[in-house]
Amino acid sequence: MIVMKFGGTSVGGAAAIRQVVEVVRGQLPLRPVVVVSAHAGVTDALQAVARTAAAEEAAIDAIIERHQQILVGLQLDERLLDAELADLRDLARGVRLLGEASAKITDAVLSFGERLSARVVAAALTAKGIEATAVDAFAAGMVTDSSFGRARPVPDDGRMLRYLDEVTGVPVVTGFLGADQDGNITTLGRNGSDYSAALIGVAIAATEIQIWKDVDGVHTADPRLVPDARPIPTMGFEDIANLASFGSKVLHPAAMVPAMQHGIRIRVRNTLSPEAPGTTIEATVDDALPAVRAIAHRTSVALVSVRSHRLLPQHAFLARIFAELHEMECDVGPVAVGEAAVTIAIDDANVGRIAASLASLGDVQIASERAVVGVIGDAAVLENGGIADVLKEMVGADISVRCAGLGALGSTVSVAVAAERLTETVRLLHSRFFPG
Ligand code: ASP
Ligand code: MG
């Protein structure tokens, strides 16, 4: 068996869903379990309904309208979603009357995105001759704790497989959703359906988890910056984690951990060109892979430097800095540590409040409009000359760098550059490591 997960854009409208039907058809011999996200944008719209307790009737109308248009576009029964949509309308009315939505109610509201899209996709498959059944993960044994909004799964004991075995045709399971031990609906956190796909893959002992998106897999660099960037055929799980640390959204590594622990291969594929092989992600990589895997980058970065007043010993100074960052829930990287100073790269959006919170620990200096570029590959190569190659390119092009160096495990080299030199930097490094 395999898992095929389709994200919000892949099920974003009637045309996209028709494409999904054909992609599923192509994999029927592998006995797929399909996992779907809400139609693109629907979770945001539902979140707005839950957040503004005074949510206008109109906001719900718009969501309902969107789904009805998709039904019409697919020539499906226009009443298909009536029961679900009526429940959503009732729930929204409740939120309006109460004037607020708790985290628990918010998850119930959000759940409708996936519940609706699973029904649409199952009906679209059936209409094209592929028998399929919509499955609500919360009814199918996806049990979680009760941390609404970011629920964590309770280990599966075979219940999910037993449930899915009884389903007629292809199960089309809601991503993102679960239920706590009391049966309350929970969500796994935004973009959680990759996580659902990994958990379901483990539960059914899948041979492969396919993540269908709208790009030809993971690229050697962002194709918007580097026109000759190309899809990477194979990479390791660590490479994906490294990419994510540079802001890549391609796959959330934490969401993939269950699959990797069970040695299940993950493939990122493109709904728009299903014949393309996409990118295969293996738990461990063999030596045949190119030493440098990808050039990653993150924009909207600010470098915040704190120079200690020297009232604290270094270890206490560092402890205080990182305690502040923890307090502010601020993720950082890269970091440069000196004897009495620290420079951290953070998201530009956080710079005001972070600088203010660090000011009690030392003199703060901010360099805004930076970008971080990372070369991702084998530590053995990057540690032995790879880093010099990176820096030589920077010197040759007269690009000044800060926070330059090997990452903690040696498998990345990063440089912070001025935002206006970003494209040039990425292109230079790409042509250096991926010539012709
Ligand atoms: N629909 C949810 C979201 O937009 C989950 C997902 O798409 O993965 O966050
Ligand atoms: Mg999404």
pLDDT tens digits along 385-396: 999 999 999 999
- How far away, in angstroms, is 248 Cα from ligand 1 center? 16
Mean pLDDT of 257-284: 91
For the entire predicted model, the pTM comes to 0.89
Q: Is the CB of 334 under 6 A from ligand 1?
A: no
- How far away, in angstroms, is 94 Cα from ligand 1 center? 24
- pLDDT at position 55 is 61
- pLDDT at position 53 is 60
pLDDT tens digits along 324-379: 999 998 989 899 998 899 999 999 999 999 999 999 999 999 999 999 999 999 99
Ligand nearest to the CA of 195: 1
- How far away, in angstroms, is 50 Cα from ligand 2 center? 18
Q: Is the CB of 113 under 6 A from ligand 1?
A: yes
Alpha-carbon gap, residue 353 to 149, rounded angstroms? 25
* Residue identifier of the C-alpha nearest atom 6 of ligand 1: 191
pLDDT tens digits along 206-244: 999 999 998 888 999 999 999 999 999 999 988 998 998
Task: Return the percentage of the chain with pLDDT > 70, whole number.
Answer: 99
- How far away, in angstroms, is 406 Cα from ligand 1 center? 34
Q: Is the CB of 193 under 6 A from ligand 1?
A: yes
- Within 10 A of 40 (CB to CB), how many other CB atoms are there? 18
Closest atom of ligand 1 relative to the 7 alpha carbon = 7
- How far away, in angstroms, is 343 Cα from ligand 2 center? 33
pLDDT tens digits along 9-64: 999 999 999 999 999 999 999 999 999 999 999 999 999 989 876 567 888 999 99
Mutate to test the pocket of ligand 1, among 3, 111, 191 (most ligand atoms within 8 A of CB): 191
pLDDT bucket at 197, cuts 50 / 70 / 90: very high
pLDDT bucket at 267, cuts 50 / 70 / 90: very high
- pLDDT at position 51 is 84
- How far away, in angstroms, is 148 Cα from ligand 2 center? 18
Mutate to test the pocket of ligand 1, among 43, 112, 173, 196 (most ligand atoms within 8 A of CB): 43
Ligand nearest to the CA of 44: 1
pLDDT tens digits along 101-157: 899 999 999 999 999 999 999 999 999 999 999 999 999 999 999 999 999 999 989
Residue 97, C-beta contacts closer than 8 angstroms, at least 6 positions apart:
none
pLDDT tens digits along 30-39: 999 999 999 9
